[in-house]
Chain A
């Protein structure tokens, strides 16, 4: 369990980082918190000729609110997200998802950008991103671009990031008004990747209890985080039966078997978790004005 040889780069700025990444193309990989990449290197499941350590790029760290969006720098540690008052106030779903990631030692190193770029379909942050309608900011030597979370995740450990690109920040829309949020997951042990999970955001109309907007992100139930569009639409259209919303959500999912659970288990339990999360989010939204 020793990694294959690689060359180590330590840029101080995004500009330097993307220059190195551009120079080495698919032979280079950014190193963020290392909580997934380093074990994969040690097991030789992943190999890169060049590792670009972005842990010393200060401009990648920070949490800011502007114009109805929360912007979180890619190298902001999960532990910082977990403790941040602005995140708790403006992105409660993200705040509540964070303690479910691994253990605190992992969150002390793990970063929000790393989680999104690693794109493990059973992890929490990608599902939260698609539920809330987040965007990721991407830098490259030739310029930067923004991609919607729903378009960013292409497959297991695969994203829209091209060779030479660096994920620099995630932008989360602040859901305001009568909102409720809930995340539910089933993991074998505390801190494990979820067998199935659901992150739910709901905004009610100001005038009545009709659903103005719904965001449902599923994890552990397919090769990517799943935006449960049918269930979201049904909620907005007035569907309230939790089991039916769970069923509709899982109709958008594509779970598979592995050593921890069957696809059938994931479908059944995923629907249950969606239903439970929707009930909780609705109850919170009804409870008052945010």
Chain B
């Protein structure tokens, strides 16, 4: 590029000047890196140092700069130059702190520093300053799907923050399950009594809010577009369908109760006196409306004994029922037992539980029920049999380890769990859907290539990572809130909806500015595809973890930048390498690999390339340096956005450049994955499992390319992994491919 003016800045602070010869590095930058401008500085991140760089940008017209100082993760505020392409050579954490300060280590330490500077110079020349997405949407209205407590809270919170909302509810009235409840679990001090649900006030507030447009009796017919420019068709039951343009979507479609008809052994469907928790709420509300006590459903008789059966059809190990714990049901049973005890302390109420789980302040509520005389028995109910107007409950007492019976329960309440209303499971192949008796109904009807609804994490819940980033789904700008994300009670759903609303607002604002959302928040780069080289192999459209890429009629990929999270998984997938980012591409990494000075095979100095995930592995390596956990001087570490972005060409480049081994360090994958981009590290491991054959064809040992799962806390383990691998390379010998490049 004609107008590219490059500069290298070498810092001597933090001991760099004492440990390595910076004059030698300056020579490397000038002669080998061919930098137009090279400066050494005693204290680069000081105001004076930063001013030097700013002045050069202004007066010398520097467009590209490499800073050889600390890690790219340090001093980001000082070196925050948004108007130039910037590369950071990690001399502090990556070299001087990771190497012993001894006379013998001096030579290899210097080689390392020189190489990192060469790599920085190489990368720099392939980089462009990201310009941001030109085609962005600017709509800042929010669509909320579902009018239960989560949806209503989301709508209200968004309105209060100053955003317009469209609220779509399938049924005729707002409120969902919560509106049918008699009372809710306490959410305020002293957590001792059931509290009013407050749903009537919430519904009124939403209905009266001028910022919220409520559409009932309606479902989503079609959702098209991307954050900032979603086009949604809303099908209204009686009347014309409505078209709305929105910036982000919150799916708060809640749950369905588990069908007690599936639990005949617990009396489900066998007797009108066996009901689920939702059934009891309805009974209680109806009775309270009439000002009467609850009566036995079968004959209207007096209720003297109520048995609550916990974990009914939940935490099931046989595979017949729900395998998970819904978390709220113990608290709900405690509350419902109080309905009876508060009305008449003479009513016997027994809760038969396996583990009583009352998260949050539920422990106080549990204690309150105990002091009211609700009996809690640790046991497992084996059978509920109707005997005339009463039921006989048989259970195994798990403390006394014996079979026991409650002979005459007037009412048996089964604590069944929540089944999420998450629409179509897009991971089930079409031919299996054909065979299903009841066809799943889509909720969002997305026009995305990857399917009509959001991907599901486990058991049908639409989450993406419940530990690291709970509100994020795998569809940018679409957030799930409430029991559709994970089982929860009203208090948790309220909090969840608030969190999702803030996320949705963030997504709309970022989309309008052409910036990425979590986790590369604020990133202006986006994938650019050279369609003339594309072979329509569809790998990018299939593998994108976020469904950002659609296909046109000729099956060419169509990128929706606002949906993209900038992980580069498409770039790693592309066999013809036509996908790149302005500041991160096959060329920027390839140039770094090629820039490394590889000594000949008789030098006894092998070279090992480490491709490290920037989210976990790279910080772990940095922290190893901070703790002075030294590792082999023969490694050269290149951070990558995600292991999913690793293109096979880099492996080829490295091997032909004479590297003796390649280590790929990424996040844990599988069921309990920790990949920030969900599928990246898993895809990388699948791709790399195929590389062994290629290595064998080249008559190279398969150990020359290895991968490890590394967590951010592995700063003690990573140096060990590196050293072990260096020893392994020493054992199998130098690469026979040296000297051909």
- Our verdict on whether A and B bind, yes or no, reads no
